[in-house]
């Protein structure tokens, strides 16, 4: 099963595709969409949606997992993040993918063994579990790999909350 993981953002949006065969998970592709910061929000959202559509067409995932909105950010940031998630969810729905949502703590717990793990601990476990070694990973791509890795473990176990039907 191929899982697309998405770490939403309006300035940088991480994405990753992993494939699970039994108990083995392999990272197939990852990256981040970084639309022009001087463009309009609508233009940035369009760039993210277009990039996501291209990644879906190329890697053909079976399901998608999106990180749930984090509540510790400012209200303005939360609104912009919610708008980015809306564009992402719309593109995933257009592709006909089953979409699941995971809270940051659930992702950390699935990947690093603790819902309170910090970003460095999660990134280290992503590298270890996916045998990535010293490959260069942007923080957003590493986060998306964590989302996809957690999703590969949780999708189908009814731990992830279904967002679309």
Contact 41, 80 (CB under 8 A): yes
140 in active site = yes
Considering the candidates 91, 101, 140, 143, report the single residue annotated as catalytic. 140
Report the run of H or E that residue 129 belongs to, with start and end. helix 119-129
Tokens of 41: 């929000």
Tokens of 91: 């593109």
Q: Which of 10, 28, 13 is nearest to 149 (CA)?
A: 28
Considering the candidates 67, 91, 101, 143, report the single residue annotated as catalytic. 67
Considering the candidates 7, 19, 91, 101, report the single residue annotated as catalytic. 7
Contact 101, 65 (CB under 8 A): yes
Tokens of 5: 């993981």
19 in active site = no
Distance of CA 121 to the CA centre of its chain: 17
Active site residues: 7, 67, 140
């Amino acid at each position: 099963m191929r899982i697309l993981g998405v770490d939403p953002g309006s300035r940088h949006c991480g994405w990753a595709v992993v494939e699970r065969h039994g108990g083995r998970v392999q990272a197939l592709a990852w990256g981040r969409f970084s639309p022009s910061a001087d463009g309009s929000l609508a233009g940035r959202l369009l760039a993210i949606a277009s990039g996501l559509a291209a990644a879906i067409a190329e890697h053909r995932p079976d399901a998608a997992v999106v990180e749930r909105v984090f509540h510790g950010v400012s209200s303005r940031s939360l609104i912009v993040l919610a708008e980015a998630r809306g564009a992402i969810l719309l593109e995933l729905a257009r592709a006909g993918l089953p979409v699941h949502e995971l809270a940051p703590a659930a992702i950390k717990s699935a990947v690093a063994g603790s819902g309170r793990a910090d970003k460095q601990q999660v990134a280290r476990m992503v590298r270890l579990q996916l045998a990535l070694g010293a490959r260069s990973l942007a923080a957003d791509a590493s986060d998306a790999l964590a989302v996809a890795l957690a999703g590969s473990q949780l999708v189908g176990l009814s731990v992830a909350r279904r967002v679309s039907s």
